[in-house]
Structure 1
Amino acid sequence: MPSLAALLPLVALATASQAFVTLPLNPVTGREGAYLKGLPDADRARVKLLKSRASSGPTTVPATNLAYVQYTTSVGVGSPATYYNLVVDTGSSNTFVGTGTKYVRTSTSVPTGQDVNVTYGSGYFSGVEYLDQVTLAPGFVIKDQSIGDALSWADFPGVDGIVGVGPADLTVGTLTPDVDATIPTVMDNALKQGLIEQEILGVSFAPATTYSDTNGALTYGGIDSSLYEGEITYTPLTTTYPAAYYWGINITDSTYGTTPVFTDSTAGIVDTGTTQILLADDYFDNYIAGIPGAYMDNTTGLLVVPSSSVAGIQPLNFTIGGTSFALDAAAQLIPEDQNIAWGGSAGVQYGVVGNLGSLSGEGLDFIVGQKFMERYYAIFDTLNSRVGFALTNHTFSTYSA
């Protein structure tokens, strides 16, 4: 057999003497009978696959209400992917794993040479940053997504980390030594890589009936019309700081029944990572003044509603984008069979509305948290700098202790 060195001059000569080489296609033999049967169906299946691979339309994935207090979704990292149960957080923007299931490095894991440290309201994580392949849904694979490998952390029980879908500016200052770097979020990279056509996140939550209830959904790249009812009300992002650092909006006014809670437009944030609905302390005082005998329980940090006042609970109303969004009694009260999970006592009626721990006028006077989004579909629209809300089939329900 001629050596490779001997063949190279011949190849070069052939290349120089003609622009291309024509090779004959020999007919396939050995097939008889109806061997083309089913080919039309196979062709249609191939078209469907090709479309799905090239699709940049909205993709909806399930989300789980874990322990009544937070929503998680399954996210794959690496190739082959290891799947992690990550908290869905619109109030932060770093994505990280390792607080439960450890980060498994594969051929797609590339160290960035950066350390990472993020502090949250009641916890933190620190570790090292990687670029890796991230799978949000079958066929929805983001390449070179920056993620953290948590080496130390506090207060992430039962979860493996966070998928951060807040504004990317929140990542500034989280890396070392490149403290001025901005880390693109999974939504940013999904748009850049053509996986979605619009940087929109649709969020569907619902009241949980069990400790771990997969009753929610996330839609990457758009909204899912099957998850809401009627029209969507949009409101622009606020320009008031510090709410403007987050998914911040203005609420024009609020009432409890007919009693004013606040009457001037005020700024706050919409945050999937906050469980309760929180009001500035003076607004909260106005709210509980309308509920006879209501008080804050220092042990749980929850509002206590006397049993004699439960039947008289009035709607808590917020005017957003010119539309009134009401929370009925069921939306304001914690079912008593969840009391133990909240650290409460049996037979006591607790509420989901709480106080911020600061007075109004500081630029972040409320948090529209998970308990609000369990009643209203939420849309986080980066391109148009707005947040939307719509009714669902569980906006209003009959309260049951």
Structure 2
Amino acid sequence: MQVSVQIQENLSRNLSTKNSIAFFLIDTSSAVTWISNDKYVLANSSTGASTPDTFSVSYVSGSASGVVVKDTIVFSPELTVTKQSIGIANVTKAFEDVDGVLALGPQGLTRGTLTPDSNKTIPTVTDNLYAQGKIQSNSVSFYFEPAVNAPIIAGEILFGGVNASKSRHALTRWHIYSTPVTKTSPSSEFWGLDMAITYGSSTTITKKVAGIIDASTSLINLEAGAYKAYQQATGGARDSATGLLSITPEQYKGLKNVTLAIGGTELTLTPNAQIWPRELNTAIGGKEKAIYLVITDLKAGAGDGLAFVLGYPMLERFYTHLDSDKKRIGFAPTAFTYATTN
């Protein structure tokens, strides 16, 4: 069995515990699912149970901490996970627009987040769905359409398989371009992969390096050397208002494809896939008719073993499959891979 969850919020999903409806940020680079304590009261839940654990999670920007309970999460009438460990956050930072985080990273990322047993790990939502026989494989897939009307984004999370209807071609496991999770630390602790990047036909942005996929990141981030190479290749100038590279209409006409070499397969980010949706320029403090690039510098966390973050712009253009069973990451083209919606 595989079950999909439709997405109609800005990188969030309307979920419920037994006593609350909440908007969750979808995050593939953490593994502790939590909800704000103003959205959840243990005493109001007939299925909830306390635990001896507390949790604390830090993000690139933001944090959350509180107690841990076990309860039921209802994604839809067809998809319910029971006895799920859930953090109830009484302190949060930089999460004003959501009620919590739906964490879909590898289970190992929960190690070090719990007290008193800092070496303990807890199963993620996907782990428990698989263990409870609700899905046929311990995997999760993502499909998003390019965002042109904030805050509404259309998409789907599918637990336990892939959705053939979302691909440009007949989609099965055999048609997904798949690569093993990288062995290079620290990217290997996340949904990490090895990748080389080329601009146009021959300009090397970076040779093969390790990095990660992160659904909660709104851009594509490169370490300093690769970012500088991309900036020089495109001629982009850093915009003081947005922090993004800005190019002129003439430069956009000459913008070339970016090729991502992943696991023996080459995936293409077209010129349109490299720019911020112009309809959303003002939402980030930009000028209405300006052209901004979504490939930017990786400021926080950059270093050996973590040279890039493939964020939401990648998931807009390629169906993405994260397989915990086989420790593999897969991509497939969609109807929006070559779209000009931005």
Shorter-chain TM-score range: over 0.9
Change (3 A) 1:360 1:255: farther
1:122 deviates by 0.6
Q: Which deviations, in whole Å up to 9, do the C-alpha atoms of 1:184-206 show, x marking residues without a partner?
A: 10011111111112001010011
Q: Which amino acid aligns with 2:166?
A: L
Q: Distance in 2 between matches of 1:397 and 1:221?
A: 28
Q: Distance in 1 between matches of 2:76 and 2:326?
A: 25
Following superposition of structure 1 onto structure 2, how do residues 49-128 of structure 1 map, counting pairs within 5 Å? 57-66=1-10, 71-78=11-18, 81-98=19-36, 102-105=39-42, 106-128=45-67
Q: Does 1:284 align with 2:223?
A: no
Q: Point out where structure 2 has 5 or more consecutive residues left out of the alignment.
A: 170-174
Q: Distance in 2 between matches of 1:226 and 1:249?
A: 26
Q: Do the aligned residues in 2 keep the contact of 1:282 with 1:359 (CA within 8 Å)?
A: no
1:152 deviates by 1.1
Q: Which runs of 4+ in 1 moved over 4 A?
A: 358-361
Q: Which amino acid aligns with 2:217?
A: T
Q: Which amino acid aligns with 1:250?
A: D
Change (3 A) 1:103 1:384: same
RMSD across aligned positions (CA):
1.8
Q: Does 1:316 align with 2:258?
A: yes
Q: Distance in 1 between matches of 2:23 and 2:301?
A: 36
Q: Do the aligned residues in 1 keep the contact of 2:52 with 2:68 (CA within 8 Å)?
A: yes
- The size of the alignment, in residue pairs, is 335
Q: Distance in 1 between matches of 2:54 and 2:72?
A: 19
Q: Determine which of 309, 314, 317 is the counterpart of 1:372.
A: 314
Q: Which deviations, in whole Å up to 9, do the C-alpha atoms of 1:194-228 show, x marking residues without a partner?
A: 11120010100111121122410000111111111
Q: Which amino acid aligns with 1:260?
A: T
Q: Does 1:192 align with 2:146?
A: no
Q: Do the aligned residues in 1 keep the contact of 2:274 with 2:294 (CA within 8 Å)?
A: yes
- The residue number in structure 2 matching 1:219 is 158
Q: Which deviations, in whole Å up to 9, do the C-alpha atoms of 1:18-63 show, x marking residues without a partner?
A: xxxxxxxxxxxxxxxxxxxxxxxxxxxxxxxxxxxxxxx0001112
Q: Does 1:336 align with 2:278?
A: yes
Q: Does 1:175 align with 2:118?
A: no
Q: Which amino acid aligns with 1:104?
A: V
1:75 deviates by 1.9
Q: Distance in 2 between matches of 1:62 and 1:395?
A: 20
Q: Do the aligned residues in 1 keep the contact of 2:129 with 2:135 (CA within 8 Å)?
A: yes
Which deviates further from its counterpart, 81-90 or 186-195?
Answer: 81-90
1:345 deviates by 2.7
SS in 1 for 2:8: strand
Q: Do the aligned residues in 1 keep the contact of 2:36 with 2:90 (CA within 8 Å)?
A: yes
SS in 1 for 2:332: strand
Q: Do the aligned residues in 1 keep the contact of 2:148 with 2:341 (CA within 8 Å)?
A: no
- The residue number in structure 1 matching 2:192 is 248
1:82 deviates by 2.1
Q: Relative contact order (C-alpha < 8 Å, sep 6+): which is higher?
A: 2
Q: Distance in 2 between matches of 1:133 and 1:358?
A: 35
- The residue number in structure 2 matching 1:155 is 94
Q: Distance in 2 between matches of 1:350 and 1:262?
A: 19
Q: Distance in 2 between matches of 1:262 and 1:210?
A: 31
- The residue number in structure 2 matching 1:239 is 183
Q: Does 1:201 align with 2:140?
A: yes
1:103 deviates by 1.1
1:337 deviates by 2.3
- The residue number in structure 1 matching 2:172 is none
Q: Percent identity?
A: 34
TM-score (norm 2): 0.93
Change (3 A) 1:207 1:134: same
Q: Which amino acid aligns with 2:121?
A: T
- The residue number in structure 2 matching 1:23 is none
1:134 deviates by 1.2
Higher radius of gyration, 1 or 2: 1
Q: Point out where structure 1 has 5 or more consecutive residues left out of the alignment.
A: 1-56
Q: Distance in 1 between matches of 2:310 and 2:9?
A: 17
- The residue number in structure 2 matching 1:134 is 73
- The residue number in structure 1 matching 2:339 is 397
Q: Do the aligned residues in 2 keep the contact of 1:88 with 1:164 (CA within 8 Å)?
A: yes
Q: Which amino acid aligns with 2:187?
A: A
Q: Do the aligned residues in 2 keep the contact of 1:283 with 1:360 (CA within 8 Å)?
A: no
- The residue number in structure 2 matching 1:347 is 289
Change (3 A) 1:326 1:267: same
Q: Distance in 2 between matches of 1:385 and 1:333?
A: 31
Q: Do the aligned residues in 1 keep the contact of 2:20 with 2:39 (CA within 8 Å)?
A: no
Q: Which amino acid aligns with 1:275?
A: S
